Amino acid sequence: MRLLRKLRAVIGIAIQQLRHDRGRTVLAVLGICLAVLSMTLLGSVGLGVIETGEEKFDASGRDLWITGGPVQLAPGSVGGFENTVYDAHEISRDIEQREDVKTAVPMAFQTVYVSANGSEFDTLIGTGAPARGGSVQITEGEPFSARDTHYAGGAYNGSMTYEVVISPQTAEQYDVGVNDTLYIGGSIRGAERNEFRVVGISPTFSQFLGTPTVVTHLSELQELTGTTSNDQATMITVDVSDDASIAEVEAELQETYPEYDVRTNREQLQATLERQAVLIAAGGSLVVLAAIAGIALTTNLLLSLVYQQRRTLAALRAQGAAASTLVGVIGTQAILLGLVGGVLGAVVTIPAINVLNIVAETVVGFEDVVSIQPWILLGGIAIALGIGIVGALVAGWRVSRLSPLEQLG
């Protein structure tokens, strides 16, 4: 009972002192809240990006991705991108002839000029891919009516279909639908001469890329952007047979094509994230700096309180109050500050994440990029308590060194 009464008295004194200096208390709580908020938001963004990436790769219906490295910008070139897979049609055909492979599909991404009236042009991402088969969702209209006839076995002299499948965002942007036309080209002059008919609307590629898209046959996109000489593509996607081992097929293809990177869905996502190492490191640094700032602010407040109350604390010590009691008062203040700041930070995190998701959807086109996870919120509160404990240790050490003779002399 004595210990309980002592604990109750320590908590009461601590709360009274925090209420007495409300300005400093509010400042400390806000500082810890911001530290927790920055950590929970950055953690939620990182987790959300990984989850979104995994969902997009899994939804693609592909097992393996063959690339020639990251897509490089090619300033001054038509299309603006330097795709790094060469002889894409031939390689895809050879891979597709394997018994353990269902399909091998070459795909290319390039910037193209698009207009609904032939006079006002915007730049969109053009995708060269066969908008046919079960992996492409057509919500309106039909897929391409024929295969890629323009390729003509590598001669690129077959007839062009001039068919295009567009994303819902593109349809809304230009107020067009099935059987309407769009002018598309690798340059404005070229686009003025190329009128494509919209045969279908599909969200598949826009969901994967996070931007409005126009989809044509690969050879037709290559023709528009001047990449037919090397048969360039961004990647080749491979769908492995149901009874085959993805790992074994990956190893065999990597041995056959050592100049390219063959990856599974997860490996391709990891490679994508590795290219953002600087950004990830910057985010991690912000988390560390936020924690340090919270510790520094809380510790500074507690040391300030100790300094302001040094004569009072010294008098209590001279009257027989145990040093542990005084340290307990300061420590309780720190833990209360950390707990309140942590809970407030976790509560504010939820609406902040909702706002970030709205902004992310508007800017990059992906929904629910920032993920809300209870363990991240609980982790933020735990870190806030850690900040309070560190502040309590430093302030408690300062209190234990107070000399009643020096302060009251």
* 260: pLDDT strictly greater than 50: yes
- Residue 110 and residue 123: Cα distance in Å, rounded? 10
3-state class (DSSP) for residue 79: coil
Burial of 356 (0-12, 13-18, 19+ CB in 10 A): middle
- Residue 235 and residue 308: Cα distance in Å, rounded? 67
* 335: pLDDT strictly greater than 60: yes
112-126, 348-362, 375-389: range with highest mean pLDDT: 112-126
Q: Transcribe 154-181 into DSSP letters.
A: GT--SPP--EEEE-HHHHHHHT--TT-E
Minimum mean pLDDT range among 85-89, 169-173, 331-335 = 331-335
Given CA atoms 155, 161, 165, 171 in this order, what sign does their dihedral have?
A: positive
**Rounded percentage of the chain residues whose pLDDT exceeds 90:** 22
Mean pLDDT of the chain: 78
DSSP 359: H
* Residue 387: predicted pLDDT: 74
Q: Where are the domains of the chain?
A: 2-55+277-408, 70-259
Which neighbouring-strand residues pair with 101?
A: 240
Which neighbouring-strand residues pair with 263?
A: 65
* 182: pLDDT strictly greater than 80: yes
| Residue (of 403, 406, 398, 409) closest to 307 by Cα position | 398
CA distances for 265 relative to 56, 136, 152, 250, angstroms: 9, 18, 31, 11
| Residue (of 29, 11, 30, 24) closest to 304 by Cα position | 24
Higher pLDDT, 80 or 147: 147
> Between the CA atoms of 63, 72, 79 and 120, what dihedral angle is there, to the nearest 10 degrees?
100
Average pLDDT over residues 72-95: 72
| pLDDT, tens digit (0-9, with 9 covering 90-100), for 124-179 | 999 998 866 556 788 899 988 888 889 988 889 999 999 999 999 999 999 999 99
- Decide if 80 contacts 105 (C-beta within 8 A): no
| Backbone φ, ψ for residue 213 (5° rounding) | -135, 160
Higher pLDDT, 88 or 146: 88
* 74: pLDDT strictly greater than 50: no
Minimum mean pLDDT range among 16-30, 215-229, 318-332 = 318-332
Higher pLDDT, 277 or 128: 128
| Pairing assessment for the beta strands 122-128 and 101-115 based on DSSP bridges | antiparallel
Helices (H) and strands (E) in the chain, counts: 14, 12
Average pLDDT over residues 61-77: 65
Average pLDDT over residues 59-75: 66
| pLDDT, tens digit (0-9, with 9 covering 90-100), for 22-48 | 777 787 788 778 878 877 877 777 666
* Residue 6: predicted pLDDT: 63
Instruction: Quickly state the pLDDT bin for 75 (edges 50, 70, 90).
Output: very low
pTM over 0.75, yes/no: no
316 conformational bin, left if phi > 0, alpha if psi -120 to 50, beta if neither: alpha
- Residue 121 and residue 128: Cα distance in Å, rounded? 20
| Residue (of 232, 209, 189) closest to 126 by Cα position | 209
Minimum mean pLDDT range among 170-184, 196-210, 232-246, 273-287 = 273-287
Other C-beta atoms lying within 10 Å of the C-beta of residue 302: 26
* Residue 194: predicted pLDDT: 93
